[in-house]
Amino acid sequence: MTRARVGLDARLTRQLSAGMKTYVSELTLCLPQVAPEYAYVPFTRGGNFGWNEQVALPLAMRRARLDLVHFLSQYVPILLPRRFVMTIHDLIHLRFPQHFKAKVGPYYATVVRRACARAARVITDDERTVDDLATLLAVDRAKVRVVPLGAGDVYRRAVAPYAGTRPYLLYAGNHREHKGLATLFEAWSTLPETREVDLYLTGPDDFAGELQCRSRPNRTLVALGDVTTERLAAYYAGARALVQPALREGFGLPVLEAMSVGCAVIACEEAVPRPLAPAALTFAAHDVGALRTLLEGVLGDESLRARAIAAGTQAARELTWERCARATADVYREILEER
């Protein structure tokens, strides 16, 4: 029997966040392994918005004689294939338009909304985003499928913890306004003077001197720059806690990765995916006092931290990329069987 041909839009473009690129890479790798009943045709060339996306990509997909196409992000051509599924991780751009460029809203209102209307299914990572899809893009809830993301193998095997000069807290992610770093900086800065604890941030020092101004002899704000996955796993393992202060996350891979390694997680209550929510220590957005109390807790109460680690490890255990790929292939089967 001839296998159905599934096209994967596997372009790793500049517009994709680090988490979105991880999703594309892991799914493209895992699907042939866990769901070999389909023949996969990845499309990896070209960026967004230009000739390659709007003309070359649709033509290449048409020539490939595909039974189904999966667009792995919201960046799609206007000339859409006859049968396709698309993934939308979150609608943070629409929830917080003040933090993004003015052209983002119209793009979602036209290209993305039209694609969602025509898609056979829309995949998202977490139950919380289903309401956003329905209310902000008028997506029919009946065709939305929730497929949680996974943590890579590097976060699931034993790793030597990074040993800093002092205990440290960790933030992993970009530095955009909606990430809530101002709340984290203020909570960390106002810890008791006797508390010696550094705060590490992945990514560059693009804070215009704020890191240096907030640092003290017994505590330092450190920008780690770009880190490899192996290095990040070591930072998770050595941290007193991962802190995720974002106003909202679609799924939030750092939360899952940290829990998989065995790191306590403190997070804004809107930044934790549903499967992991019971294991996180949470606070309301912008609540500096509540975050500071939780920081004091994981720094001074080892039993609290140990409980958070145990709960996180248990909650993250089943969330693998293989499981994500299998559930995604099951969505393909739904669509193909409708013929």
Kindly report, residue by residue over 279-321, the tens digit of the pLDDT: 999 999 999 999 999 999 999 999 999 999 999 999 999 999 9
Instruction: Average the pLDDT over 111-131 and give the result.
Output: 96
Instruction: Average the pLDDT over 241-250 and give the result.
Output: 94
pLDDT at position 149 is 97
User: Which tens digit of pLDDT belongs to each residue from 31-51?
Assistant: 999 999 999 999 999 888 888
Whether the per-residue pLDDT at 256 is higher than 90: the answer is yes
Please indicate, yes or no, whether residues 231 and 333 belong to a single structural domain of this protein: no
Please indicate, yes or no, whether residues 217 and 280 belong to a single structural domain of this protein: yes
What are the backbone angles phi and psi of residue 277, rounded to the nearest 5°? -55, -40
Whether the per-residue pLDDT at 118 is higher than 70: the answer is yes
User: By the 8 A CB rule, do 111 and 78 touch?
Assistant: yes
Pairwise CA distance, residues 89 & 270, whole Å? 14
Please indicate, yes or no, whether residues 307 and 168 belong to a single structural domain of this protein: yes
Structure letter (DSSP) for residue 123: E
* Averaged confidence pLDDT in the chain: 94
Pairwise CA distance, residues 181 & 245, whole Å? 6
Instruction: Average the pLDDT over 236-250 and give the result.
Output: 95
Whether the per-residue pLDDT at 1 is higher than 80: the answer is no
Please indicate, yes or no, whether residues 79 and 164 belong to a single structural domain of this protein: no
Please indicate, yes or no, whether residues 143 and 181 belong to a single structural domain of this protein: no
Please indicate, yes or no, whether residues 108 and 82 belong to a single structural domain of this protein: yes
pLDDT at position 301 is 94
Cβ-based burial of 287 (10 A; exposed 0-12, middle 13-18, buried ≥19): middle
CB neighbour list of residue 169: distance below 8 Å, 6 or more residues apart: 188, 197, 198, 199, 200, 239, 240, 241, 242, 243, 295
Number of structural domains the chain divides into: 2
pLDDT at position 339 is 65
Structural domain of 188: 153-316
Please tell me the pTM assigned to this model: 0.92
CATH of the domain at 74: 3.40.50.2000
Whether the per-residue pLDDT at 180 is higher than 70: the answer is yes
Q: Are strands 221-223 and 198-201 parallel, antiparallel or unpaired?
A: parallel
User: Which tens digit of pLDDT belongs to each residue from 62-94?
Assistant: 999 999 999 999 999 999 999 999 999 999 999
